[in-house]
Amino acid sequence: MPEGIRDKVVVLGMGCSRFGERWESGPEELMLEAFSEALADSGVEKQDIDAAWLGVFFQEQSTGKSGLPLSQALRLPNIPVTRVENLCATGTEALRGAAYAVAAGAADIALAMGVEKLKDTGFGGLPERTKGSSEDLWLPNSTAPGSFAQLASAYSAVHKRDIKELKRAMAHISVKSHRNALDNPKAHLRRAITEDDVLNAPTVAYPLGVLDCCGVSDGAACAILCTPEVAKRLGRSDAVAIKALQLAPSNGVELSNDAWDGAHTLTTRIAAERAYREAGIDDPKSELDLMEVHDCFSVTELVLMEDLGVSDEGRAIDDVLDGRYDHDGAIPCQIDGGLKCFGHPIGASGLRMAYEIYLQLLGRASERQLDSPSIGLAQNLGGVPNRNVASVAIYGLKDITR
């Protein structure tokens, strides 16, 4: 069995732009905003970075296809830059490339950047993909809200939970995210809402209403990584370490036969199992202190609680309504507002999740700071329930003086 990268890579610095409708800024300005914070946080110079990874999803509409936009925007010292794309897990994919380079000894210090500029592309939601792509071939006439509405209906049917009860739990999730975002000055949507607001909002794809859906945003997030030995040389005493970083893409089973019941995300369960094994976590219910998950829709967050093993099968509704994942709950989830309210610039979202966990573990999350967390999980789900890629990353504090 491969031993993975547990504790071989630490986060030296992180930065995140303000997310939102950033009409005044192009992708270059957004990357510079995130990078400037990360560089200052890391305590190193630009010339110390050995390699970089750039995550962008809709490159034709905004940033460009190569690694040059990052190299040029930041005036990097002619180091290798690799552009990656993996649906909504693109930011985590950039992080994975940088982390593997450091763990392998190919780079002492590596940079991971995720960025997306979506609001001024001329589309109300996400831009259209290339005609004749796999989306057209496999999922003709499919929409993201329609696909996740089917997830909600399947969950209700498989677990025999009344759809009205499910909608109440979904409303609670949206209210929670909006409440958490009030304490986050970088969040896109900072307005409190009520459960009645959610339940009475216009329907998008039943049972999903407008306030069950995340929007799209402009933004960038950035991480500077190194080994614990390099961090120690730089005078650090403790740091946030990557405990696990796992990725699981669909292989066609969900689309090809009836083995999948439509009520869960198979890839998340596979990635989570691998990540817990790599991180040495036996009981995520008791060992995780906080989570950031891919809440593209409120029902997605609910279902992911079971896929990640922190709620029992068919019981996530009860845990959500009991406040288990609220700010003061057993495992706070989306403490920064999540995709729902912090925003979803696709290429940046995975790194944005890491940014929040990084701040929380170091006790630097200001008004939204939790009480002494030591381990957190971030999960991305790129695509739709029956055809996707899931990533699960686990971060924890590490004493690097030993």
d(CA 356, CA 334): 9
Mean pLDDT of 52-60: 87
What is the predicted pLDDT for the residue at 198?
A: 98
pLDDT at 107 over 90: yes
pLDDT > 90 in the chain, percent: 86
pLDDT at 62 over 90: no
Could you tell me which of 373, 335, 385 has the C-alpha nearest to residue 149? 385
d(CA 248, CA 321): 30
What is the predicted pLDDT for the residue at 60?
A: 66
Instruction: Give the pLDDT confidence of 319-374 residue by residue, as tens digits.
Output: 999 999 999 999 999 999 999 999 999 999 999 999 999 999 999 999 999 999 99
pLDDT at 133 over 90: no
Q: Which CATH class is domain 10-120+218-233?
A: alpha beta
* pLDDT grade for 88, boundaries at 50, 70 and 90: very high
* pLDDT grade for 386, boundaries at 50, 70 and 90: very high
Structure tokens at 116: 């997306």
Q: Which of 16, 88, 222, 296 is catalytic?
A: 88
Q: Which of 172, 188, 264, 344 is catalytic?
A: 344
Instruction: Give the pLDDT confidence of 195-247 residue by residue, as tens digits.
Output: 999 999 999 999 999 999 998 899 999 999 999 999 999 998 889 999 999 99
Mean pLDDT of 9-30: 96
- Whole-number average pLDDT of the chain: 93
- 156: three-class secondary structure by DSSP: helix
- Examine the residue annotation and report whether 88 is marked as an active-site residue of this protein: yes
Mean pLDDT of 93-99: 98
What is the predicted pLDDT for the residue at 215?
A: 87
Q: Do domains 10-120+218-233 and 142-213+242-399 have the same CATH topology?
A: yes
Residue 296 carries which DSSP code? S
- 198: three-class secondary structure by DSSP: helix
> Which amino acid is present at 231?
A
> Which amino acid is present at 172?
H
What is the predicted pLDDT for the residue at 313?
A: 97
Is residue 19 within 8 Å of 187, Cβ to Cβ? Answer: yes
Instruction: Give the pLDDT confidence of 280-327 residue by residue, as tens digits.
Output: 999 999 999 999 999 999 999 999 999 999 999 999 999 999 999 999
- Examine the residue annotation and report whether 172 is marked as an active-site residue of this protein: no
Q: Which architecture does CATH list for 142-213+242-399?
A: 3-Layer(aba) Sandwich (3.40)
What is the predicted pLDDT for the residue at 265?
A: 98
Lowest mean pLDDT among 17-26, 87-96, 122-131, 158-167: 122-131
Residue 325 carries which DSSP code? T
The H or E element that residue 178 is part of is: helix 163-181
Residue 401 vs residues 235, 239, 266, 375: alpha-carbon distances, Å: 9, 10, 40, 19
Q: Say what the pTM is.
A: 0.95
Domain ranges in the chain?
10-120+218-233, 142-213+242-399
Instruction: Give the pLDDT confidence of 155-198 residue by residue, as tens digits.
Output: 999 999 999 999 999 999 999 999 999 999 999 999 999 999 99
Strand 238-249 relative to strand 375-384: parallel, antiparallel, unpaired? unpaired
Mean pLDDT of 111-125: 80
